[in-house]
Amino acid sequence: MKTKEVKIINQGLEDEMEVWGYQPCLWKMILVGVGAVCSGGLLLLLLYWLPEWGVKVTCTCTSLRDAHTLLLKTTDEFRQWFRAKVHVMSAPGKNPLDSLELQSTAQLTNGDGDHGISAVHQELHGKCAHRQPVQIHYFTHHSTKYYWNDVMQNFELHKGLEDVKMSCASIHSAHSSGLSKTLQDYRRLFFGENEIAVRVPSIFKLLIKEVLNPFYIFQLFSVVLWSAEDYYYYATAIVFMSVISIATSLYSIKKQYVMLHDMVAAHSVVRVSVFRGNKDIEQAMSTDLVPGDVIIIPANGMIMPCDAVLICGTCIINESMLTGESVPVTKTSLPSLGEEAAVSYNVEEHKRHTLFCGTHVIQTRFYAGELVKAVVVRTGFSTEKGQLVRSILHPKPTDFKLYRDAYLFLLCLVGVAGVGFIYTVVLSIMNKVPVKTIIIESLDIITITVPPALPAAMTAGIVYAQRRLKRVGIFCISPQRINMCGQLNLVCFDKTGTLTEDGLDLWGVQTAEDGSFSPPEADAAKGSLVNSAFVACMATCHSLTKIEGELSGDPLDLKMFNATGWILEEPTEEETALHNPIMPTVVRPPKHSIPEASQKNPLTQNMELSELSPFEIGIVRQFPFSSTLQRMSVVVRRLGEKHMNAFLKGAPEVVASLCKQHTVPQSFPETLESYTRQGFRVIALAHRQLEAKLSWHKVQSLSRDLIETNMEFLGLIIMQNKIKEETAGVLRELRQANIRTLMVTGDNMLTAISVARECGMVRANERVIIAEAAPPKDFHLASITWHYTENPAPTTKDNQTVEINLRDEEYDKKVPQQEQRYHFAVTGRTFAVITEHFPQLVQKLVLRATVFARMAPDQKTQLVEVLQSIDYTVGMCGDGANDCGALKRAHSGISLSELEASVASPFTSSTPNISCVPNLIREGRAALITSFCVFKFMALYSIIQYLSVTLLYSILSNLGDFQFLFIDIAIILIIAFTMSLSPAWKELVWQRPPSSLISGPLLFSVLTQILTSLVFQVLAFLLVRQQSWYETWTPQSDACNVSRSSPSHSLNVTSPHDHKNIRNYENTTLFYVSSFQYLAVAIIFSKGKPFRQPSYKNWPFMLSCIGLYTFLLLIMLYPVPAIDSFLEEANDHWGSSFLSWLLCRRSKPPRVRYMYLALELQDDVDWPPRPSTVTYASDSQSHTSAPL
């Protein structure tokens, strides 16, 4: 017997999977065929629902190389199984990125450019007959093809050109001329057509898939069974409900597919100009593109049909489809010389040079006689847009404790049904009931115990909550996550645009001269500053552009430029004769800003402004802002000057490190700390005069490292980022509701701490501990230094400033550490070092960390995963920019951007502030409690009916068809759907709703009601038999008809002779008793405060209950006392205490890891680390601290 060979594909990635190889086995398939026939097809259904069983019972294990069928299992917490068929294709080579000497081969005929893969096979084999074709095994999973690699002995994914790991310079040298038609066709064999194909399934396919759902199969089984018992009315009602449910579901699914198809199909197929080598350009369809093709970006822009790297020219792009940010971004060509060009090309690291699929190229900038060219990097589903569509087409399942507990509870009901099944069979045999009747009645008990209407009733509360959310401007694309919002106990917030205002206001500028700072100036457009290098830097060092006459670009750049009062022009070709062959962006001050000295000068007095050479500056080259480098720079030339200048702006610490030391004021650290302490955002400027010998052509090929050095420090720009009005109130509300809040931002650490204090995330009396980690270097171990901060100075409301003092020497030893409130603050760099070198500290740190600064997008996602690993239910709220990964990964992601990128977030708010978060949590809690109420009600309904039918079976009787119909339609469905209408409570409370159905109070509540129902039904069943007027039923008797209960006849079978023993006193008694029990249980379980509005405010529910009570009392002719609702309160109080004592819950440790960890740390005298201590990494990962 062969051992199972398991391999890992997509190792280390989000979609990592284990894979096993199998071959079909004839004798196993014959056995399965026989089993399918004997079981009436049920075995095939079971194997359809469980793909791993389907493979294992029909195939035998083999190596991956020889496999015909593959079994895939995800390695995440969901452990999903998939089945994939291995296909074989013939190709001239094994690696799509090999040249195979095909470029020297004769060209293939082009045709119409839209031929299929089979045609490519034929043409390639005809042209490459000198090469022996090879057989390549591959399989397709979730719209992605995986190919067999003999060297790796595993399947691999071909993403695109980046698989080759080539340098930026190599892309310029080896890929700038384009591919031959033959080589393009060869690569298309592997990469397929460049198309994100969202196939809209036919109604028939969707119908088959929907109907094969276990729920509908169970309903079909129930309907067949009821029809065999002549229960046609109820069977018809269930069929009618199922048809409506299936039709609604099909319409919804079809609509979603069509919407996604339309969103993807728009502009996905366009005609492009492609280089074919030797400067030949041909028109082709975008579906023909493969990695390595060189395309021309037209001057009037286009929607990108693929991911491509810019190798010539500049583009202005709107990336809102991917980033959620509608601010146009400037993309520059990939470096071809210098150190930057030697780095391997990577899509993530070279985003500023990469044009992504689906993004809109608004306009291009090119040099005289040169075209804007880009090399195709990735196509189809491998592109950024393709991966986003894949995540929508194949989402991860929602993992929530409620649903897992619901399945367990249903299994318990199945167990109860099993007991009833055995009871019915034994009782029927003892009473010599016919075999057909035994089979029907014993199976009927299963359909009674597991209610067919349960899923529909459970969904009602979520649907109502979704409608209420829509009314307050919160839109949801994943309704099942609404229940998750009810369990949120931690919410991460982005800072800029989320907690604070989107834009920044210029507070002032502070110039530096002769190594010292001048006093701050509020107005940068002052006459004394107009002709300074400082203002020239503000006016030129940006990525702004004019689109349809309007300035557009980064909000910070816009504020900075507008503060200068200068004018930006993108002149026509005729106006640029003085600027060499370049067509530059030109900036100049307005006429009234010319200093008086210049205006009075007789040489300049009669000249037009455009002729004043010192004040017109052309931007020759731009090095875009890099979040890794934390800076951007430009090379400019003033009109009439021979030499060029370089201007730089960026993070103050970075800019200062690139400047000559004597130009940086000595008070720079203190001044910077003073501003950042007060929550200002500070940007530093620098300047450098370049050598006169540098020509325009030389500047274009220089690396930014050569330009961004030996700068002269110019000064600081101080921007103010105001907190939104709603922020502080919402955070206070969340804190009062026992919901922890974190800040995750890309901004400066001290600014982030200041904002955290100002908005109340960190309170005035709480200490912040800054962790600064250093990676191992020069034989030194990785280390963490702990700095303590505190806030002794009061907040100044007028200026909105908060003082933060670093305080390493003083430490209040009088107060025990465990009693002091503290928060950790961590930077992205520190987080990366701790994750890699101090894994044992990660969970301890995030347990009390509140501020995460300078965090990269992938680090935000990583942080969410760490928080989830210690059992937090995590919410993430961001403005859509750079937060997409974290929004997708969190249990509940809330995007404040209504752009297309919000498709990655389960929730999108039309209100651009965080007031949506409490609303979402309140509705989530209400929906969660509604789900619990409905589930308990439906469970009790099935148990009550089960008890009634079991008692009636003992006298060989049952409920009538109309009785079942009245109970299930008139009582159960109406009550289940109206009890879900209760809206959320008006405020968030400290208490959180239960997360599990398998908990003491809930189980006790259900068990108490079951026992109460059982006692009353048994008492009623026995008491009616002791009445003087009681008459035992016989087929010829008409016992009930002689009673005065004539209005109830309509609820019983009305045949002249009752051969089913329906018309008897026991039946009528149990019908009325159980009907009142359903209503009583509904009122008891319809929980109101503190998560929902009281039941009496839910008027449809109250009217339904009153109407049904009145109707039942009227048709019963004599009153039966209703069950009092005070039982629930008593049950909750002493029931939970009793169960807590019974299960010894108090002696058990907390179930969630973060609470367990918090208890552990209470007893740890060394945590948090003392001020000014350093924690070193060691081989054993145990840490030691030593004071500095």
Annotated active-site positions, please?
494
Between CA 383 and CA 159 the distance in angstroms is: 8
CB 343 within 8 A of CB 168: yes
1076 class by beta-carbon count within 10 Å (0-12 exposed, 13-18 middle, 19+ buried): buried
Between CA 368 and CA 582 the distance in angstroms is: 7
Question: What are the backbone dihedrals phi and psi of residue 773, each rounded to the nearest 5 degrees, phi first?
Answer: -110, 145
Between CA 367 and CA 583 the distance in angstroms is: 7
Between CA 963 and CA 979 the distance in angstroms is: 22
Q: For residue 752, give both structure tokens.
A: 């982030």
Question: Which of 109, 569, 627, 143 has its CA nearest to residue 351?
Answer: 627
In this structure, the strands spanning 907-909 and 892-895 are parallel
Helices (H), 759-910: 828-837, 839-848, 857-869, 884-889
Question: What are the backbone dihedrals phi and psi of residue 500, each rounded to the nearest 5 degrees, phi first?
Answer: -110, 170
For 1072, the 3-state DSSP assignment is helix
Residues, the chain: 1188
Q: For residue 813, give both structure tokens.
A: 């030893």
DSSP 647: E
Between CA 970 and CA 771 the distance in angstroms is: 63
CB 1176 within 8 A of CB 782: yes
Q: What is the number of H-type helices and E-type strands within the chain?
A: 39, 43
CB 831 within 8 A of CB 1176: no
Task: Quote the Cα angle for 905-906-909, to 5°.
Answer: 80
Q: For residue 1113, give both structure tokens.
A: 């009392």
Helices (H), 718-873: 727-736, 749-758, 828-837, 839-848, 857-869
The identity of residue 440, as a single letter, is I
Contacts of 1145 (CB under 8 A, 6+ apart): 1000, 1139
CB 540 within 8 A of CB 586: no
For residue 68, CA distances in Å to 24, 85, 117 come to 7, 6, 22
CB 371 within 8 A of CB 312: yes
**CA neighbours closer than 13 Å in the CB half-sphere of residue 691:** 9
47: left (phi over 0), alpha (psi -120 to 50) or beta: alpha
For residue 673, CA distances in Å to 678, 766, 773 come to 9, 20, 20
Between CA 897 and CA 320 the distance in angstroms is: 10
Q: For residue 470, give both structure tokens.
A: 């829509």
Task: Quote the Cα angle for 508-512-515, to 5°.
Answer: 155
For residue 1143, CA distances in Å to 32, 743, 1000, 1155 come to 46, 39, 9, 20
Q: How far does the chain reach from its first CA to its final CA, in angstroms?
A: 64
For residue 271, CA distances in Å to 116, 284, 307, 356 come to 18, 6, 16, 17
